Amino acid sequence: MTRKLITGNGAAAWGARLARAEYIPAFPITPQTEIIETLAQWIDEGQIDSRMTTLESEHSMITTAGAAATTGVRTFAATSSQGLLYGMEMIYTVAGWRAPFVLVNVSRALSAPVTLEPDHNDVLAARDSGFLQIHCATCQEVLDSVLLAYRLGEDEKVRLPVIVNLDGFYLSFTREPVEIPDDKKVDQFLPPYDPGETRFRAGDPISQGVIVLGGSQYSYFRYETHLASLNALEVFEEASKEFEELFGRSYRAVEEYRTEDAEVIFFMMGSFATKAKDAVDRLRSVGRKVGLLRPRLIRPFPIEAIISAVAGKKGIAVIDQNLSLGKGGILYTELASALYSMTDKPVLVSFIGGLGGRDITREEFYEMVAVTMKAIETGKAPPPRLLYSKEELMQMKGLQSIARVEQRKGRGKR
């Protein structure tokens, strides 16, 4: 075991390396590119015995990845944002092939307007595809989650591809000390991929992704795949226990931070949860009973673990770093439906924050606790709120007035 100061992208590449991913179909996109550059360099230097093929698009890349996994090799790919959406047809398709591989998504907000910084609308667009989703908050977790993802996806009870998500810039380009697990121990945790009957070989033909005639057959296969996804909850528990025994790091489906006696908890995913942890520590130091709940697994959604973690809590501030236009926060919707059958359920307050990489400040975390406390007192949750300051609005108005002047100048020229 060695310790290295590496970026989230570097950690993802290390995950693929330690998992002995044999095949890496690739296509560059910011902020993911460092992952494939790192792997390409290792291949060129002979440090790893993998093969990389650069495709002409993410649509092709995901097709290639699924086809290679279907043929029987351990496959790794990475993308971001527009790339994930460009490949979305195949995201759904390859999940139906039941061919496991790992796809790292480095979250980046979606166009339009175009930006490079992160939010979770890209990865949540794949929410209903059949891909499992593991969301990371630290560089260490990125590396470890890639290993867990292969164990999870390749399990015969699951057999599904897995997305490991990390936030662009905040994790992708942030260096943190990361323990690089011993490769022999990784081999013990993650034996070579056994494709079972899902592979192509002369003399033993199979047909993949074929047409079914009618809703009855279609329903059967879709629901079977849904049940396989649900099986991943139990498999994740088993795998993470074994991971902890081997490597000393614990990854539950839902991370609970100082929730024991908490009255108010933050509910959010991704790297911004580390900002919430800092706020929790500071609030705890002045005697406020607050905590954090961070789902690592988004698909399958660990409903039971969440229900048991929120039992007895009075209020939850749900922070969505995404926006379902015309509805609101996606995580809020997911949580509300998960808790609906609970008696004595906590009050849920919805906040939209961190869109396009916009920071969430310490003061905003404090304010969210205050708003949630008030909702607990009154028993009435306020409408969803966008985290956006007066200063930002002033700056925005300033930019708009410049834009108007520029537009008039442009008209004048014509």
Give the residues lining the site for another protein (CB under 8 A): 22-23, 25, 51, 53, 55-57, 59-61, 63-73, 75, 89-90, 93, 97, 200-203, 205-213, 217
- We find the least distance from the C-beta atom of residue 194 to another protein, in angstroms, to be 10
User: What does the block give as tokens for 134?
Assistant: 């593991």
- Using the minimum distance from each CB to another protein, give the nearer residue, 199 or 288: 199
What are the backbone angles phi and psi of residue 382, rounded to the nearest 5°?
-70, 165
Q: 22 or 237, CB closer to another protein?
A: 22
**Residue that has been written with the tokens 């590496």 in this structure:** 6
Minimal distance, residue 158 CB to another protein, in Å:
20
Measured distance CA(82)–CA(84) in Å, rounded: 5
* Residue whose CB is less far from another protein, 56 or 391: 56
* Beta strands across the sheet bearing 264-267: 254-257, 290-295, 264-267, 315-320, 347-352, 385-386
| 84 secondary structure, DSSP code | H
Alpha-carbon gap, residue 7 to 30, rounded angstroms: 14
Selection from 299, 2, 368, 393 nearest residue 180 by Cα: 2
Inter-residue contact 335 to 305 (CB < 8 Å)? no
Question: By C-beta, is 205 or 287 nearer to another protein?
Answer: 205
CA-closest candidate to residue 71, choices 110, 144, 22, 34: 22
Report whether the peptide linkage leading into residue 31 is cis, meaning its omega lies within 30 degrees of zero: yes
Residue 228 CB, shortest distance to another protein, in Å, is 18
Q: What is the largest CA-CA distance in the chain?
A: 74
Relative to beta strand 102-107, strand 51-54 is unpaired
Q: How far is the CB of 333 from another protein (least distance, A)?
A: 29
State the minimum distance, in angstroms, from the CB of residue 72 to another protein: 6
Q: Which is nearer to another protein, 82 or 93 (CB)?
A: 93
Q: Measure the N-to-C terminal CA separation of the chain; round to a whole number of Å.
A: 67
Vertex 313: Cα angle to 311 and 314 (nearest 5): 135
Instruction: Select 58 or 256, whichever has its Cβ closest to another protein.
Output: 58
CA 110/CA 82 separation, integer angstroms: 6
Task: Write down the least CB distance from residue 44 to another protein, Å.
Answer: 17
Contact 294, 257 (CB under 8 A): yes
Give the residue carrying structure tokens 């230097």: 45
CB of 107 to another protein, least distance (A): 24
The nearest distance, CB 101 to another protein, in angstroms, is 10
248 within 8 A of 275, measured Cβ to Cβ: no
Nearer to another protein, 7 or 50 (CB): 50
Smallest distance from another protein to CB 154, Å: 15
